[in-house]
């Protein structure tokens, strides 16, 4: 299983599922990290944690330990558009 | 009563309208655009969540707008969010469900905003959606079809540009006209269609987002933008080198303004208070009433107002950084540093500010949503060495720490090393305390740290000013009144009982003891000091200072100092130092003034060269009662500094902790724990110092 934590900066991955059923996993889901959505890893804080993500057209930050619970289908590639409702997807740079 | 009269009566009743929305959606801007300055700010019953209500009149109808705490969903994760949900459902004690809901929806971030909106629509109250940040969306090439969105959601959608007041009147019209929404088309079906194997919380999110994706399809049009502004700004701001540099410069600016920029303002306030005190002193006859008014009430009010510049400046910066989106980036950059001790990056600015003063620092903890992190930050803030401790450090370092190089490095002087160590001591003790507390008292399931990094935008001047006004006012009206009352009580404790005969007797016995010591003294310097002290008793100022010193030593506060002498003895302190420590409780910065009074100098300005030198001379000459052994030695000076670095001898800080946590438990616990820590620190320092220095 690949987790979001292993995705390289600049790459996009499709979410498979969120493991666990505590407030953190619930909050991740509510913030739009649901199965099938594409998440881009925008950057990492200079001290190595947390991660900056782009999902559903906005930015959010989660810790590496929490990113480990987001199972993803590896590397959709840096500029692959999302199938289906891509209406709000921001064009990916470069 | 006929039908028309009943209708008219209903029309004049205020309509209660709840303003709901995600954080960072321009909700505060919309609140001020609709209702102006809030007419009521307080706390919801039983919780420390701020309640903000503003009344305005539209089309002859009074409207009470309730600003709910920002929330991401209706399944709350924090007390703030729980209040929002309970109020909407009419479950908050003493507060009926609102008549209308206005949901703030950010046009740049429609999908995630519709998550909360769709949950709120399902409540079934008459609902209006205010579509904000349309201008920011346009900049990003996003266009939202409000009419189509309204049709799909089953409730009115009004686009507004709150800072320019566009669409505000239409929104108010829509609020009055709002009807209960019909259930959004297809939502129930989408929720039912989710794989039943998923967990319930996941089913809710998966179903709702599946429905939202269909709703926004065709409602949102995107024009391709080469590379978004957010991308470019974020690339710099979170860059390893440039981001760190920018962060350091920003924090330097924040800290400089509350540490140095506030100083002249505080001096101005202090001078103003002194002027008022002098005028009043001239108007009232000498006696207890004059002393109460001048030394109790006016000085107490001064000690409250003195904090305003720092609070206002810090909240100006916080509002500015929050308004443009940098506040959460700062937390993002610093998170790693604080996660090790069990906190998050959001605690950085409150703790940094506490190096200037714990009071604005503790208030700044309001920006931390997570209640556990917020409480922990509030409790750690007073351990950061604030500027009020500096005069004590400077005086002790200057007078009793030898100015010698350390480790043979000529520019590294011992006083500077001691000073830096005191700052480090506070930080290290705070880190250890946080580490221990998060594993004991505050142990619990990990709290979600899922932080939105909002889009970059220009801060709104009105919102920034409103934030400054709100923070200042809440301090003055909340903590301020209690601090004032406490100052008056402490004034009474240091002025009573007042027994003129006992004071005169003490001054006389002091004269006798000085003479006796002078007769037996052979050391030339000591003879000069003793005869100077004797001569001073014959001048009117010297006599007055001696009387004031005696009166303070005989007051309840002084008696307590003598009473606790066995407790401070192991720290190397005599009872006068114990007195000074207790007397400094109203505010740490008065400790030097108190030492001045206790050592018969009268009111000294220890900050001035003359006053400082006089105080140092007096302290150096001080001996233990009935002996020639000096009170102040290097170990004693170090023990005093360590004690002040760790103690919670600041009534105002404790009052603010009470206000911000809504419970007396925390200030009491904090005071007890810090006093024990300070005592232990001072004890170890003195004993070790005595052992090493001899």
Residue B446's pLDDT is: 64
**Chain A residue whose CA is closest to B328:** A61
Residue A81's pLDDT is: 43
Pairing, β B100-106 against β B127-132:
parallel
Cα dihedral value B113, B115, B119, B120, nearest 10: 0
> Over the stretch B57-80, which tens digit does the pLDDT of each residue have?
999 999 999 999 888 999 887 777
CATH topology for the A2-73 domain: SH3 type barrels. (2.30.30)
Phi, psi at residue B61, to the nearest 5°? -110, 120
Using a CB-CB cut-off of 8 Å, the residues of chain B touching A48 are 336
- Cβ atoms of A52 and B234 closer than 8 Å: yes
> Over the stretch B510-559, which tens digit does the pLDDT of each residue have?
888 878 878 877 778 778 877 877 887 888 878 888 888 888 788 888 88
Q: What would the two tokens of residue B117 be?
A: 């909106």
Using a CB-CB cut-off of 8 Å, the residues of chain A touching B224 are 91
Highest-pLDDT range among A62-76, B277-291, B663-677: B663-677
Nearest CB to B201; choose among A26, A31, A85: A26
Residue B170's pLDDT is: 95
- Cβ atoms of B293 and B495 closer than 8 Å: no
Query: What is the overall mean pLDDT for chain B?
Result: 86
What are the E-state strand segments in B107-215? 127-132, 142-144, 156-159
Say whether pLDDT at B586 is over 80. Answer: no
% of residues, chain B, pLDDT over 70: 95
Using a CB-CB cut-off of 8 Å, the residues of chain A touching B140 are 90
Nearest CB to B445; choose among A18, A22, A52: A22
Say whether pLDDT at B229 is over 90. Answer: no
Residue B470's pLDDT is: 86
The answer to whether the Cβ–Cβ distance between B335 and A45 falls below 8 Å is yes
The answer to whether the Cβ–Cβ distance between B446 and A48 falls below 8 Å is no
Residue B445's pLDDT is: 66
- Which residues contact residue B594 at a Cβ distance below 8 angstroms, ignoring those fewer than 6 apart? B552, B579, B580, B583, B584
CA nearest B474: which of B555, B590, B366? Answer: B366
**Cross-strand pairs, B157:** B129
> Over the stretch B307-328, which tens digit does the pLDDT of each residue have?
899 899 999 998 999 888 898 8
The answer to whether the Cβ–Cβ distance between A60 and B230 falls below 8 Å is no
Q: How far is B230 from chain A (nearest CA, A)?
A: 9
CA B404 to chain centre: 39
- Cβ atoms of B142 and B64 closer than 8 Å: no
- Which residues contact residue B333 at a Cβ distance below 8 angstroms, ignoring those fewer than 6 apart? A45, A46, A47, B238, B243, B244, B247, B345
Q: How far is A79 from chain B (nearest CA, A)?
A: 13
8-state DSSP, B94 = T
| Adjacency order of strands within the sheet including A70-73 | A2-3, A70-73, A12-18, A38-44, A51-55, A58-62, B450-453
Q: How confident is the model at residue B1 (pLDDT cuts 50, 70, 90)?
A: very low
Half-sphere exposure in the Cβ direction for B531 (13 Å, CA): 9
**Residue given tokens 């507390």 in the structure block:** B437
Domains and CATH numbers, chain B: 14-222 (3.40.50.300)
The residue among B113, B205, B236, B239 with the most chain A CBs within 10 A of its CB, best to mutate, is B205
The answer to whether the Cβ–Cβ distance between B206 and A45 falls below 8 Å is no
Alpha-carbon distance B361 to B355, whole Å? 8
Alpha-carbon distance B451 to B589, whole Å? 38
The more confidently predicted of residues B589 and B103 is B103
CA nearest B215: which of B238, B188, B237, B187? Answer: B187
Residue B22's pLDDT is: 92
Q: What is the DSSP string of B435-489?
A: HHHHHTTT--SPPP-EEEEPPP-PPPHHHHHHHHHHHHHHIIIIIIHHHHHHHHH
Nearest CB to B216; choose among A34, A59, A88: A88
Residue A79's pLDDT is: 47
Q: In Å, how far are A72, A77, B39, B344, B349 from A41, measured between CA atoms? A: 12, 11, 44, 21, 26
Alpha-carbon distance B432 to B552, whole Å? 38
Say whether pLDDT at A89 is over 50. Answer: no
Residue B232's pLDDT is: 85
The more confidently predicted of residues B196 and B227 is B196
Nearest CB to A45; choose among B231, B336, B446: B336
Residue B621's pLDDT is: 79
B640 three-state secondary structure: helix
Q: How far is A35 from chain B (nearest CA, A)?
A: 7
Nearest CB to B206; choose among A25, A34, A89: A34
**Chain B residue whose CA is closest to A85:** B213
The more confidently predicted of residues B95 and B85 is B85
The whole-number average pLDDT for the span B184-212 is 88
The whole-number average pLDDT for the span B11-38 is 88
Cα dihedral value B219, B223, B225, B229, nearest 10: -40
Alpha-carbon distance B575 to B681, whole Å? 19
Q: In Å, how far are B68, B140, B402, B414, B423 from B406, measured between CA atoms? A: 57, 58, 11, 6, 18
Q: What is the ipTM of this complex?
A: 0.83
Q: How far is B235 from chain A (nearest CA, A)?
A: 8
Q: How confident is the model at residue B140 (pLDDT cuts 50, 70, 90)?
A: confident
Residue A90's pLDDT is: 41
% of residues, chain B, pLDDT over 90: 36
- Cβ atoms of A67 and A51 closer than 8 Å: yes
Residue B480's pLDDT is: 87
The answer to whether the Cβ–Cβ distance between B332 and A52 falls below 8 Å is yes
Half-sphere exposure in the Cβ direction for B198 (13 Å, CA): 21
Q: How confident is the model at residue A88 (pLDDT cuts 50, 70, 90)?
A: very low
Q: What would the two tokens of residue B586 be?
A: 């109203």
Residues constituting chain A: 94
Alpha-carbon distance B640 to B658, whole Å? 27
Phi, psi at residue A6, to the nearest 5°? -90, -5
Residue B47's pLDDT is: 65
Say whether pLDDT at B44 is over 50. Answer: yes
**Chain A residue whose CA is closest to B242:** A46
Alpha-carbon distance B244 to B249, whole Å? 9
Q: What would the two tokens of residue B530 be?
A: 């003793």
Pairing, β B450-453 against β A58-62:
antiparallel
Pairing, β B127-132 against β B142-144:
unpaired
- Cβ atoms of A33 and A55 closer than 8 Å: yes
Domain boundary assignment for chain A: 2-73
Say whether pLDDT at B150 is over 90. Answer: yes
Phi, psi at residue A40, to the nearest 5°? -105, 135
Say whether pLDDT at A83 is over 50. Answer: no
Size of interface A-B (CB pairs under 8 A): 157
- Cβ atoms of B146 and B140 closer than 8 Å: no
Say whether pLDDT at A86 is over 60. Answer: no
Alpha-carbon distance B108 to B136, whole Å? 7
Q: How far is A14 from chain B (nearest CA, A)?
A: 14
The whole-number average pLDDT for the span B639-648 is 93
Say whether pLDDT at B676 is over 80. Answer: yes
Residue A92's pLDDT is: 40
> Over the stretch A19-75, which tens digit does the pLDDT of each residue have?
888 888 889 999 999 999 999 999 899 888 899 999 998 999 999 999 999 999 876
The more confidently predicted of residues B626 and B175 is B175
> Over the stretch B549-565, which tens digit does the pLDDT of each residue have?
888 788 888 888 888 88
Residue A87's pLDDT is: 37
SS3 content of chain A, % helix, strand, coil (to 5): 15, 30, 50
The residue among A33, A45, A69 with the most chain B CBs within 10 A of its CB, best to mutate, is A45
The answer to whether the Cβ–Cβ distance between B222 and A88 falls below 8 Å is yes
Report the range of poorest mean pLDDT among B26-35, B97-106, B168-177, B227-236. B227-236
Using a CB-CB cut-off of 8 Å, the residues of chain A touching B234 are 42-43, 52, 59
Alpha-carbon distance B2 to A59, whole Å? 57
Residue B62's pLDDT is: 93
Q: What would the two tokens of residue B93 be?
A: 């004690």
The more confidently predicted of residues B445 and B498 is B498
The reply to whether omega before B497 is within 30° of 0 (cis) is yes
> Over the stretch B397-455, which tens digit does the pLDDT of each residue have?
888 998 888 888 888 889 999 999 999 999 999 999 999 998 888 887 667 788 999 88
Instruction: Write out the H or E segment, with its range, that includes residue B331.
Output: helix B326-339
Report the range of poorest mean pLDDT among B83-87, B424-428, B442-446, B666-670. B442-446
The answer to whether the Cβ–Cβ distance between B452 and A31 falls below 8 Å is yes
Residue B3's pLDDT is: 45
Q: How confident is the model at residue B655 (pLDDT cuts 50, 70, 90)?
A: very high
- Cβ atoms of B657 and B362 closer than 8 Å: yes
The answer to whether the Cβ–Cβ distance between A24 and B231 falls below 8 Å is no
Alpha-carbon distance B367 to B660, whole Å? 12
Using a CB-CB cut-off of 8 Å, the residues of chain A touching B454 are 58-59
Residue B80's pLDDT is: 77
Using a CB-CB cut-off of 8 Å, the residues of chain B touching A60 are 450-453
8-state DSSP, B325 = T
Using a CB-CB cut-off of 8 Å, the residues of chain B touching A49 are 335-336, 339
Q: How far is B113 from chain A (nearest CA, A)?
A: 9
CA nearest B583: which of B548, B607, B632? Answer: B548
The whole-number average pLDDT for the span B638-665 is 91
**Residue given tokens 């064009």 in the structure block:** A91
Q: How confident is the model at residue B507 (pLDDT cuts 50, 70, 90)?
A: confident
The answer to whether the Cβ–Cβ distance between B452 and A84 falls below 8 Å is no
């Amino acid at each position: 299983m690949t987790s979001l934590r292993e995705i390289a900066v600049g790459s996009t991955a499709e979410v498979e599922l969120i493991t666990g059923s505590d407030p953190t996993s619930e909050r991740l889901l509510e913030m739009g990290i649901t199965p099938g959505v594409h998440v881009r890893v925008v950057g990492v804080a200079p001290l190595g944690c947390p991660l900056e993500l782009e999902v559903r057209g906005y930015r959010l930050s989660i810790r590496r330990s929490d990113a480990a619970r987001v199972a993803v289908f590896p590397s959709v590639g840096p500029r692959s558009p999302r199938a289906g409702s891509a209406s709000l997807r921001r064009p990916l740079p470069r | 009563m006929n039908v028309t009269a009943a209708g008219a009566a209903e029309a004049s009743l205020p309509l209660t309208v709840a303003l709901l929305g995600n954080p960072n959606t321009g909700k505060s801007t919309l609140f001020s655009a609709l209702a102006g300055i809030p007419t009521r700010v307080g706390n919801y019953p039983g919780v420390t969540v701020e309640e903000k209500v503003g009344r305005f009149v539209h089309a002859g109808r009074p409207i009470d707008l309730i600003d709910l705490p920002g929330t991401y969903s209706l399944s709350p994760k924090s007390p703030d969010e729980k209040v929002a949900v309970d109020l909407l459902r009419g479950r908050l004690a003493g507060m009926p469900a609102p008549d209308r809901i206005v949901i703030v929806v950010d046009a740049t971030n429609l999908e995630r905003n519709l998550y909360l909106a769709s949950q709120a629509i399902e409540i079934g109250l008459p609902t209006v959606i205010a579509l904000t940040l349309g201008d920011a969306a346009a900049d990003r090439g996003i266009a939202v079809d409000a009419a189509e969105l309204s049709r799909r959601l089953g409730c009115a959608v009004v686009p507004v540009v709150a800072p320019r007041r566009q669409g505000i009147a239409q929104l108010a019209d829509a609020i009055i006209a709002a009807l209960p929404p019909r259930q959004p088309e297809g939502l129930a079906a989408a929720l039912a269609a989710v794989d039943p194997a998923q967990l319930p919380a996941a089913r809710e999110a998966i179903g709702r987002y599946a429905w939202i994706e269909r709703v926004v399809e065709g409602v949102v049009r995107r024009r391709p933008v080469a590379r978004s502004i957010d991308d470019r700004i974020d690339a710099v701001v979170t860059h390893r080198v440039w981001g760190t540099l920018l962060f350091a410069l920003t924090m330097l600016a924040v800290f400089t303004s509350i540490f140095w920029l506030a100083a002249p303002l505080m001096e101005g306030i202090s001078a103003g208070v002194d002027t008022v005190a002098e005028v009043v002193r001239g108007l009232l006859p000498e006696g207890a009433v004059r002393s109460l008014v001048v030394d109790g009430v006016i000085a107490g009010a001064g000690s409250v107002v003195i904090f305003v510049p720092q609070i206002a400046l810090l909240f100006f910066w916080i509002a500015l950084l929050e308004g443009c989106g940098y506040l959460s980036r700062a937390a993002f950059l610093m998170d790693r540093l604080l996660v090790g001790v069990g906190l998050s990056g959001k605690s950085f600015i409150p703790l940094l500010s506490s190096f200037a003063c714990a009071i604005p620092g503790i208030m700044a903890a309001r920006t931390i949503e997570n209640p556990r992190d917020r409480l922990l930050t509030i409790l750690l803030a007073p351990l950061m060495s604030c500027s009020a401790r500096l005069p004590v450090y400077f005086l002790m370092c200057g007078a009793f720490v030898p100015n010698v190089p350390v480790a043979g490095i000529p520019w590294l002087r011992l006083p500077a090393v001691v000073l830096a160590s005191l700052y480090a001591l506070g930080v290290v003790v705070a880190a250890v305390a946080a580490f221990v507390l998060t594993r004991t008292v505050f142990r619990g399931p990990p709290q979600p740290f899922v932080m939105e990094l909002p889009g970059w935008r220009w801060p709104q001047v009105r919102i920034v000013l409103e934030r400054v006004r709100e923070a200042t006012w809440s301090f003055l009206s909340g903590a301020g009144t209690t601090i004032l009352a406490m100052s008056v009580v402490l004034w009474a404790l240091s002025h009573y009982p007042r027994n003129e005969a006992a004071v005169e007797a003490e001054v006389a016995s002091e004269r006798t003891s000085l003479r006796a010591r002078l007769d037996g003294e052979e050391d030339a310097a000591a003879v000069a000091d003793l005869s100077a002290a004797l001569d001073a008793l014959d001048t009117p100022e010297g006599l007055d200072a001696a009387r004031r010193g005696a009166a303070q030593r005989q007051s309840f506060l002084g008696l307590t100092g003598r009473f606790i002498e066995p407790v401070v003895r192991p720290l190397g302190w005599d009872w006068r130092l114990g007195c000074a420590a207790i007397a400094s409780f109203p505010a740490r910065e008065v400790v030097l003034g108190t030492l001045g009074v206790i050592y018969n100098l009268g009111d000294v300005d220890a900050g001035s060269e003359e006053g400082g030198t006089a105080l140092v001379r007096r302290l150096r000459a001080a001996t233990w009662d009935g002996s020639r052994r000096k009170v102040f030695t290097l170990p004693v000076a170090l023990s005093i500094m360590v004690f002040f670095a760790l103690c919670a001898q600041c009534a105002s800080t404790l009052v603010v902790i009470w206000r911000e946590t809504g419970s007396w438990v925390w200030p009491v616990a904090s005071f007890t724990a810090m006093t024990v820590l300070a005592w232990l620190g001072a004890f170890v320092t003195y004993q070790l110092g005595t052992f090493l220095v001899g």
